[in-house]
Amino acid sequence: MPALPASIRDLSLSGKTLFLRVDFNVPIQDGVVKDDTRVVEALPTIRLAREKGAKVLLASHLGKAKGAPDPKYSLGPVARILEKHLGAPVGFAADCVGPVAESAARALAPGGVLLLENTRFHAGEEKNDPEFARQLASLAGAYVNDAFGTAHRAHASTAGMASHFPKGARGVGLLMEKELTALSRVVDSIDRPFAAILGGAKILGKIAALEALVERADVILVGGGMANHFVKALGLETGTSLLEPDGVPIARKVIDRCRERGVSLVLPSDFAVAPSLEKAGEARTVPMNAIPAGFAALDIGPKTLEMFRRMTKEARTIFWNGPMGVFETKPFDAGTLGVAKLLAESAGFTVVGGGESVEAVHAAGVAEKISHVSTGGGASLDLVSGAKLPGIEALR
């Protein structure tokens, strides 16, 4: 991985207006923030910016706003939660560009904090429109990106506006810095043996990461819906299990490449199956080569979990992305929660690569025992697969 861009620690911010891109894409229901984890994770960078004497403008997207104002995606409720955690006043501007934003930004004093309205209320955000990027940049004299969860998106506030600031006036925040440092340990500073655990419903969205990990890992363990493709590639029946036909030849290629490289490929030896989620009461455990017709594999079985534990026992580095089954529905949460505990028990450096795996480590109550829990599923997978992240490259 190339050297990191400049850090907020290195920037001179006294008296300057800082445009700080954060990831406040949090779940909101009836105007109430249901999970404030991402707000809490942004606090160290916000506090450092204030200590450095910056006037802090915070910007983020929220939800799937389609380029126009939508009250259900307003960041207003987030401003109140942030104020509570920060222990200092947080202003809120009803727009992120134009007269409203400009006036609110001008009124900020050093150490002051202002949250701008959802950047995706403007179509120019997702289009990375140069004029919209210019309008955002015109609000500030320095730019810091701390939104790792959106670093793989080439949007106006995450990439396009960075070029409007000279080197020495742009960089990454503390959370972004922490993410990049930790993930470099599963990309190019690997302490071996290195085990990668991949799950999730689909294989097609993870092709690049899967192919990259085959070249990098010593052990690859596969679960979740992804595993069905490997079972099919071995010529076995998968019943009504989730399957993307185009994913089967990919699984076959991975099997062949692991054999060529001498990588240990660990597939489930048993599955928890049921006719459907609605008929979870009919769940049973079957060997991988005996999934009955009319049944779907909905979780890895106990023998697989034990095998995963054995195969990762000596690992010095473990990367995990993707649940082992439909863990939102009991009893199909056992495999995913088991993998979360497996990582927590490891003496090695453990990384959970964002997405639903993060929910799982919190549900298992072991998040504090994981070396690094990433805030970005898509971004962490892109980074692991060797892709360049627009939000990082724009700062270089």
Residues written for the chain: 396
Q: Which residues are tagged catalytic?
A: 38, 202, 355, 378
CB–CB of 157/124 below 8 Å? no
CB–CB of 277/329 below 8 Å? yes
User: Which contacts (CB < 8 Å, 24+ apart) does range 257-262 have?
Assistant: 257/211, 257/214, 257/215, 258/214, 258/220, 261/214, 261/215
**CA-based nearest residue to 198, from 389, 380, 344:** 380
Structure tokens at 230: 């490997």
Instruction: Please give the Cα distance from 90 to 110 (Å, whole number).
Output: 13
Structure tokens at 217: 């890992």
Instruction: Please give the Cα distance from 269 to 290 (Å, whole number).
Output: 10
Instruction: Please give the Cα distance from 159 to 390 (Å, whole number).
Output: 6
Instruction: Please give the Cα distance from 375 to 216 (Å, whole number).
Output: 23
In this structure, the dihedral spanned by the alpha carbons of residues 150, 155, 158 and 161, taken in order and rounded to 10 degrees, is 180
